[in-house]
């Protein structure tokens, strides 16, 4: 080694130091790039998470509105059900009243038929009977009873109008 001058050794050492410094700078630059990329990824994920939270908040508000609408619809349905029950009760009461009125009318008509001397007599009917044996009955003004004495009444009860048949 005595053949090589000291400055060659110095140049070799300087080259080694420069290469080491270049390697160190390259590794730092790579580390910085990785750090920057990591920070950018973290920022991107933060923004994505914020967007997801915002969408979830909007969806939550919409869900609350839907729940409120459903509750309102339930209340409306309950009110309608109660109103329908009230109307059904009124209809039932009116049906009962109408049935009582029909029954009273049927009783009045039966009483009128019982005491009417033209309908029947112990000696037989006073009116002429048609060939089929049923007494003809002309309706009296305002009388809504059927002309067939064996017809059913409006309430569905059967009242026989002529006992002699």
Classify the phi-psi angles of 33: left when phi > 0, otherwise alpha if psi is within -120 to 50, otherwise beta. alpha
Find the mean pLDDT for residues 97-106: 96
Beta partners for residue 158, in sequence order: 152
Nearest Cα to Cα of residue 130 among 85, 98, 165? 165
What are the pLDDT digits (tens) for 116-161? 888 765 544 444 444 455 444 455 555 555 555 555 555 545 555 5
For the chain, the first-to-last Cα distance in angstroms comes to 158
Does pTM surpass 0.75? Answer: no
| Residue 161 burial (C-beta neighbours within 10 Å; 0-12, 13-18, 19+) | buried
The pLDDT tens digits of the residues spanning 12-41 come to 999 999 999 999 999 999 999 999 999 999
Region of 135 please: left (phi>0), alpha (psi -120 to 50) or beta: beta
With beta carbons less than 8 A apart as the criterion, state whether 155 and 109 touch.
no
């Amino acid at each position: 080694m005595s053949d090589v001058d000291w400055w060659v050794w110095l140049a070799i050492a300087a080259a080694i130091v420069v290469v080491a410094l270049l390697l160190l700078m390259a590794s730092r630059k790579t580390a910085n790039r990785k750090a920057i990329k990591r920070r950018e990824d973290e920022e991107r994920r933060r923004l994505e998470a914020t967007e997801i939270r915002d969408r979830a908040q909007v969806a939550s508000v919409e869900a609350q509105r839907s729940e409120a609408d459903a509750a309102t619809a339930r209340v409306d349905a309950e009110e309608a059900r109660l109103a329908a029950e009230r109307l059904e009760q009124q209809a039932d009461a009116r049906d009962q009243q109408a049935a009582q009125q029909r029954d009273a009318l049927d009783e009045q008509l039966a009483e009128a038929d019982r005491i009417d001397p033209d309908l029947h007599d112990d000696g037989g009917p006073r009116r002429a009977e048609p060939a089929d044996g049923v007494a003809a009955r002309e309706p009296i003004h305002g009388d809504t009873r059927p002309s067939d004495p064996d017809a059913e009444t409006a309430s569905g009860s059967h009242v026989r109008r002529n006992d002699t048949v």
